[in-house]
Amino acid sequence: MSPAPADDSSVELLAVLREDIGRDGPMPVERFMRLCLADPVHGYWARPGTIGAAGDFVTAPEISQVFGELLGLWCAVVWQGMGQPSPLRLVELGPGRGTLMRDALRAAERVPGFLYALSVHLVETSEPMREKQRGLLPPPLTPPHKGEGDRPPIAWHPTVHEVPDGAAIVIANEFLDALPIRQLVFGEDGWRERMVELDAAGALRFAIGDKAAHARATPASPVGAILELRAGEDEVLAELGRRTGPCVALFIDYGPAEPAYGDTLQAVRRHAYVDPLATPGAADLTAHVQFAALADKARRAGLAADGPITQAEFLGALGIAERTSRLMAANPERAGAIETATQRLVSPTGMGSLFKVLAVRSPHLPPPPPFG
């Protein structure tokens, strides 16, 4: 049984979940995750203050400004490799507080013509996050004004589908892990859907549901194996494949490079792991990105995929050591903290190896650096 919910918002979402399960029976993990994260009133992304030291978790751009700066320069180099199209849609999926985009735009300012070519498109469903982004990014000029160098126009969209066509560079850091997953459990008689149900006392618990047809089932799958499937990835990649104009996308997230079974559903609250069923709506709920599957999905959508490589390899090739040294020299009073933050991003036993980077592109384009 899960411990009692810890605050009002999880009590309210628990009531929603109980009503739903009472009405329709046990719900698939995917529906549970979707309600916990995206319920418009009680869901996790409707809460303010989720990212950051005072919130539940921190991400790479919140750890070091160097992360966003290197990505900004990477975007500018990719744009040059595309033949400097204008306009260029610079798209970020799940921009969080907007820190990555702010740092990226500041660093890319030095590349002649790049900011002038840009229109920025932020794909974000959370209203509190949009508010943070509006506060952090330079205020957009009123359309149809094209922007003046350091102030590219910025637009917000609920999904990538609404981003206008044309040449695009897409960045997604810790976005895919937030999209709901199904979990299938392999039993004696094949794959079954993993569900969430209520016990006699009304507490949430996991259960095994109906048989699930699944193409990747093999007789060799061990009994008890858990397979995680994320339909949201297929939708994003299909959208990218459907776009007109050249497109390069970079997905940075945690998860294995090779196909892997296992339950990776995790909940994080105030920087600690908690039971995913304990505080619904009040904890960040995520699951690993399966990079081998993601690359396959990209290819099926008519795109080419490069990688994955580890975050340490990616940032190393982009020159994180040099950039960090320069930043330390320019800010001697913060040198220790700057160095520690970079080490955290590239740590071989932490983020540096757990996080992977996969590039996806229109097949006629060359692989972007450092893949090419």
**Residues that bind ligand SAH in the complex, under the rule CB under 6 A:** 45, 51, 59, 61-62, 94-96, 100, 123-126, 129, 173-175, 178-179
Closest CA relative to residue 351, chosen from 65, 33, 67: 67
The secondary structure of residue 33, as a DSSP letter, is H
Taking the least distance from each CB to ligand SAH, the nearer of 104 and 108 is 104
Complex with ligand SAH: residue 175 or 186, whichever CB lies closer: 175
Output the six-digit token pair for 60. Answer: 């790479």
CB of 216 to ligand SAH, least distance (A): 24
> Can you read off the two tokens belonging to residue 6?
């810890």
Q: Which is nearer to ligand SAH, 103 or 192 (CB)?
A: 103
Alpha helices in 213-348 (DSSP H): 231-242, 291-300, 311-317, 320-330, 335-346
* Cβ 123 to ligand SAH shortest distance, Å: 5
Please report where in the chains the tokens 């996050």 appear, as a residue: 129
Residue with Cβ nearer ligand SAH (185 or 267):
267
Shortest reach from residue 40's CB to ligand SAH, in Å: 12
Shortest approach of ligand SAH to residue 285 CB, angstroms? 10
Around Cβ 48, how many Cβ atoms within 10 Å?
A: 11
Number of Cα atoms under 13 Å in the Cβ half of residue 275: 14
Strand order in the sheet with 118-123: 154-157, 118-123, 88-93, 168-173, 247-254, 355-361, 304-310
For residue 146, the one-letter residue type is K
Q: Which is nearer to ligand SAH, 91 or 247 (CB)?
A: 91
- The nearer residue to ligand SAH, 173 or 324, going by C-beta atoms, is 173
Query: What is the DSSP-derived secondary structure letter of residue 112?
Result: T
Taking the least distance from each CB to ligand SAH, the nearer of 102 and 194 is 102
Contact 192, 223 (CB under 8 A): no
Report the distance separating Cα 86 and Cα 279, nearest Å: 47
* Nearest Cα to Cα of residue 76 among 91, 90, 66: 90
Minimum CB separation from ligand SAH for residue 145, in Å? 26
Residue 5 CB, shortest distance to ligand SAH, in Å, is: 22
Q: Radius of gyration of the chain from Cα atoms? A: 21
CB of 185 to ligand SAH, least distance (A): 25
